[in-house]
């Protein structure tokens, strides 16, 4: 059965669709690698490999600091390094570094001076956790959370996960995690309290129906699909992309799209999706566009690269609504902006997070890693959304009352919009 309505109107079997998805993804990955290689070819790159070898590289603290200093100097997207003399950091710290902890403090101080929250040095544990996320391995309790007026709510509980078995429900307000009051915290801070070592416990205090409840839940490996789909109201497809970080994301997306292929319209839910792999975002946007720009990437020294919709045998061309909120960031914003600027979809919800920069992951010696901003991007219309976000076509907020009553006002708005569009199409077809 065809996943989409082919331009030639012929049937395409599922294995052919997956083959197409895999081929397109490989091309996109190759394009990304070539783009970054072109940027780096203009500079002197150290001989130290950026990928781990079988024999792990271990460096003394001073050499770890020097290598990191040099990598930032040569690869950070801003040539001026936030208008500072980078040599200052070597003079300040090099002779003071005795231990790995000293190097860690010095490196973090350098990165902090860039005033860039996305460029981070990762300890061995943090780097391992990030790699696990790319492999869709998460150690936690299996909930999705959102911030509403400074309050943290559970918006989804994964079936069979420790959270569900422990009695947590959508709509629960989280008050404390392991004794830490999360009132006023953002989603990222709250999530850091929930994540932890496999088989360890997390203590939560929640508010439900004006009653305070405590839950002690054991962390486990959460095996998640990053893409979920269902059919709602018989004729509207619904696809939720939890994250763009999984290497399996494109194949999962194709499977999800295939399941809703016979509906008359689609809702793409990117709420709470904080981003992930750049090529996954380009892949998803491309599935809805038969022409036009997807994103413009500006690298170090002003090197530009345009990512455009690729010619393909089929494109999903039915009515489309994209749901976003304040936690929709990075890759989610690439997709949302591409579909909005090209007039392909209506965006419903609240203003997105506003992350318009691209990071590269550098494996470092001593089993450590670094996320470094190497480029920024503009939407197809040339808009810089960093720290600004994307304004929806229709602003619809979810209130505290909506959460407590488990009423998804944004989803309901999208459904009504598409139902009206479908009805108008049916009426037009009768004449």
Which two three-digit tokens encode residue 271? 């709420």
CA distance 391 to 109: 34
Decide if pLDDT at 214 tops 80.
yes
CB 275 within 8 A of CB 371: no
> Average pLDDT, stretch 288-301?
94
> Average pLDDT, stretch 171-200?
87
pLDDT attached to residue 23: 44
| Chain centroid, CA 410 distance in Å | 20
Decide if pLDDT at 2 tops 50.
no
Using 50, 70 and 90 to split pLDDT, how confident is the model at 135?
A: low
Mind listing the pLDDT tens digit for each residue in 41-73?
A: 222 222 233 334 334 789 999 999 999 999 999
Q: Report the share of the chain in percent with pLDDT over 70.
A: 85
Which two three-digit tokens encode residue 266? 């689609």
pLDDT attached to residue 427: 85
Decide if pLDDT at 193 tops 80.
yes
Strands (E) located in 107-200: 120-122, 137-140, 143-148, 151-157, 173-177, 180-181
Strands (E) located in 227-319: 227-232, 236-241, 265-269, 293-299, 304-308
Torsion angle (degrees, nearest 10) of CA 68, 74, 75, 80: 110
**Range in 61-70, 79-88, 389-398, 399-408 with the lowest mean pLDDT:** 399-408
Does the pTM surpass 0.75? The reply is no
Three-state DSSP state, 335 = helix
Using 50, 70 and 90 to split pLDDT, how confident is the model at 136?
A: low
CB 355 within 8 A of CB 386: yes
pLDDT attached to residue 224: 67
Decide if pLDDT at 162 tops 90.
yes
Q: Indicate which residues carry an active-site annotation.
A: 330, 341, 355
Using 50, 70 and 90 to split pLDDT, how confident is the model at 263?
A: very high
Counts of helices then strands in the chain (DSSP H, E): 12, 19
Q: How many CA atoms lie within 13 A of 166 on its CB side?
A: 26
> Average pLDDT, stretch 98-116?
95
pLDDT attached to residue 248: 87
Decide if pLDDT at 20 tops 60.
no
Decide if pLDDT at 140 tops 80.
yes
CB 172 within 8 A of CB 191: no
CA distance 344 to 285: 10
CA distance 141 to 159: 11
Decide if pLDDT at 303 tops 90.
no
pLDDT attached to residue 100: 92
CB 17 within 8 A of CB 3: yes
pLDDT attached to residue 48: 30
Mind listing the pLDDT tens digit for each residue in 334-354?
A: 999 999 999 999 999 999 999
- The sign of the dihedral angle between the CA atoms of 260, 263, 264, 269 is negative
**Range in 17-26, 363-372, 400-409 with the lowest mean pLDDT:** 17-26
> Average pLDDT, stretch 110-136?
83
- Comparing 28 with 405, the larger pLDDT belongs to 405
**Range in 70-84, 85-99, 101-115, 214-228 with the lowest mean pLDDT:** 214-228
Nearest to 2 by CA among 237, 257, 234: 257
CA distance 325 to 153: 14
Beta bridge partners of 205: 176, 214
> Average pLDDT, stretch 13-26?
46
Q: For the chain, how are helix, strand and coil distributed in percent, rounded to 5?
A: 35, 25, 40
Decide the pairing of beta strands 320-324 and 346-349: parallel
pLDDT attached to residue 16: 47
Using 50, 70 and 90 to split pLDDT, how confident is the model at 426?
A: confident
CA distance 315 to 324: 22
**Range in 265-269, 271-275, 391-395 with the lowest mean pLDDT:** 271-275
**Range in 170-174, 318-322, 397-401, 417-421 with the lowest mean pLDDT:** 397-401
> Average pLDDT, stretch 376-390?
96
Using 50, 70 and 90 to split pLDDT, how confident is the model at 27?
A: very low
């Amino acid at each position: 059965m065809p996943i989409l309505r082919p331009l030639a109107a012929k049937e395409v079997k599922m294995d052919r669709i997956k083959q197409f998805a895999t081929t397109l993804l490989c091309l996109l990955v190759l394009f990304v690698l070539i783009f970054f290689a072109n940027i780096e070819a203009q500079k002197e790159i150290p001989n130290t490999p950026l990928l781990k070898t079988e024999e792990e590289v271990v460096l003394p603290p001073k050499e770890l600091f020097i290598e990191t200093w040099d990598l930032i100097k040569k690869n950070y997207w801003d040539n001026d390094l936030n208008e500072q003399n980078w040599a200052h950091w070597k003079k300040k710290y090099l002779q003071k570094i005795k231990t790995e902890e000293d190097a860690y403090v010095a490196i973090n101080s350098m990165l902090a001076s860039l005033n860039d929250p996305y460029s981070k040095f990762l300890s061995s544990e943090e780097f391992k956790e990030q790699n696990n996320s790319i492999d869709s391995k998460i150690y936690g309790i299996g909930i999705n959370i959102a911030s509403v007026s400074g309050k943290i709510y559970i918006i989804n509980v994964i079936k069979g996960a420790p959270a569900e078995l422990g009695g947590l429900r959508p709509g629960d307000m989280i008050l404390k995690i392991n004794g830490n009051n999360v009132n006023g915290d953002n989603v990222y801070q709250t999530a850091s309290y929930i994540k932890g070592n496999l088989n360890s416990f997390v203590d939560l205090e929640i508010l439900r129906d004006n009653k305070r409840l405590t839950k002690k839940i054991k962390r486990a490996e959460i095996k998640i699909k990053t893409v979920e789909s269902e059919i709602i109201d018989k004729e509207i497809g619904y696809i939720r992309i939890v994250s763009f970080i999984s290497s399996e994301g494109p194949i999962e997306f194709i499977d999800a799209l295939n399941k809703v292929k016979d509906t008359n319209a689609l809702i793409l839910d990117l709420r709470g999706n904080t981003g992930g792999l750049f090529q996954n975002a380009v892949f998803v946007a491309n599935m809805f566009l038969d022409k036009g720009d997807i994103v413009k990437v500006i690298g170090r020294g002003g090197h530009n690269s345009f990512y455009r919709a690729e010619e393909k045998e089929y494109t999903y061309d039915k009515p489309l609504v994209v749901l976003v909120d304040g936690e929709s960031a990075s890759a989610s914003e690439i997709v949302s902006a591409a579909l909005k600027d090209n007039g392909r979809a209506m965006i419903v919800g609240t203003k997105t997070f506003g992350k318009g920069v691209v990071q590269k992951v550098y494996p470092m010696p001593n089993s450590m890693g670094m996320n470094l901003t190497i480029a920024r991007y503009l939407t197809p219309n040339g808009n810089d959304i960093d720290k600004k976000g994307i304004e929806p076509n229709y602003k619809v907020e979810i209130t505290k009352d909506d959460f407590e009553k488990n009423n998804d006002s944004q989803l309901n708005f999208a459904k009504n919009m598409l139902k009206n569009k479908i009805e108008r199409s049916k009426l037009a077809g009768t004449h």
